[in-house]
Homo-oligomer: A and B are copies of this chain.
Amino acid sequence: MKNTLGTNVTLTLFGESHGTGIGAVLDGIAPGIPVSEEFIASKLSLRRPVGNISTPRVEMDNFVIESGVFEGHTTGTPICIVIPNENTKSKDYGEIRCKARPGHADFTAFQKYHGFEDYRGGGHFSGRITAGIVAAGAIAISALENKGIYIGTHISRCAGVNDTPFNDVQSNVKLLSQKAFAVLDDAAGEEIRKKIVEAKSQGESVGGILETAVVGLPAGIGEPWFDTVESLLSHALFSIPAIKGVEFGLGFSMADLFGSQANDRFLVSDGNVVTDTNNNGGINGGITNGMPVVFRCAVKPTPTIGKTQKTVDFINNEDTELKAGGRHDPCIVHRARIVVDSITAIVLCDILSGRFGTDWLAQK
């Protein structure tokens, strides 16, 4: 399916960094979901460069809803959102065209597209393409919130600094929805920003770990083979540039536990079946058990750095060097957070619509 994700609710992405426009088609969302351009814009603002974080003013992004929304609600037909590309100066890319930026997709794109790829600014591999995910994801988030399902992601670790772990997940998720820089502990947030600035001054970049929780999901969604909730989420998450690891619940830490430590014991609380711990991240056998779904994504440091790096000229097949000019992100962890929220929302809308039918998301 390539650039289309999902089965019942699908997301199709298109666009190149320096082409005419980028965007997304979100299809299969129930008719009757309220759509607010302000809400979409507020989500898009969360993935803008770090300088905007301190700006309390939410600006309207320049996006166009071409279809699928009528009188403020989803119609049930495909929603195409186009985000025109601007500020794409037609500078001369000739010099760097053939130099593979280490850690980037320049070389692999050339292998795949044989030189026909739009290489300018990363083309179809650019992080900018995630804006389409965020715009579409805002509608998916609205749909889930209509059903009492909430998603929150925080910067669990960045530049070697840890945020407070989730404690009261329900309220943590609520808190995060109000934060531009997604940490639970603002002091840790300050420390992280300081480290990012420091890395930048040295021509370096840093990575981190994003931790996400979803609350309000019903038990019994997902499939044993092969569409486990873990499978569907990881499929989507691993297509976000820079994500190199995904784990659910305790994830890799479970490898060192004994069974009696790893197992979450079931108990009846207020008439409902819950678990005492949530080491399995709300998923047993690929299917939700009603506890919060919790997962973590490893984000590698941005590959574009200020330092000179050895690399190849892949057209002339020879060794060379590369020094990135211009602006580049010393860190994308905090910007990736809303992308994770958005794609998670879209995947969950897909699973829920498949399980409960086309109209479910819009039902009161």
Contact = CB atoms under 8 A, between A and B. Distances in A.
Contacts of A157: 255-256
Interface string A73-98: 11111111010000000000000000
Contacts of A266: 100, 102, 107, 310-312, 314
A231 interface: yes
Interface in A237-260: 238-239, 241, 243-260
A341 interface: no
A162 to B, nearest CB: 11
Interface stretch (A39-47, A50-58, A62-70, A183-191): A62-70
A298 B256 CA distance: 10
Nearest to A65: B20
A317 B273 contact: yes
Q: How large is the interface on A (under 10, 10 to 19, 20 to 34, 35 or more residues)?
A: 35 or more
A247 B250 contact: no
A292 interface: no
Interface in A289-340: 289-290, 298-305, 307, 309-312, 314, 317-319
A205 interface: yes
A124 B77 CA distance: 7
A49 interface: no
20 contacts: A2-B78, A4-B27, A16-B77, A19-B67, A19-B70, A20-B64, A21-B82, A80-B82, A108-B222, A108-B285, A112-B222, A205-B258, A244-B254, A245-B245, A245-B251, A245-B254, A263-B309, A273-B317, A354-B354, A357-B360
The 8 closest A-B pairs by CB, nearest first: A105-B285, A111-B220, A245-B247, A205-B259, A357-B357, A108-B287, A31-B116, A245-B251
Given A13-B78, A273-B314, 11 more contacts: A3-B27, A3-B225, A20-B64, A76-B116, A80-B80, A124-B224, A235-B235, A244-B247, A255-B299, A266-B311, A355-B358
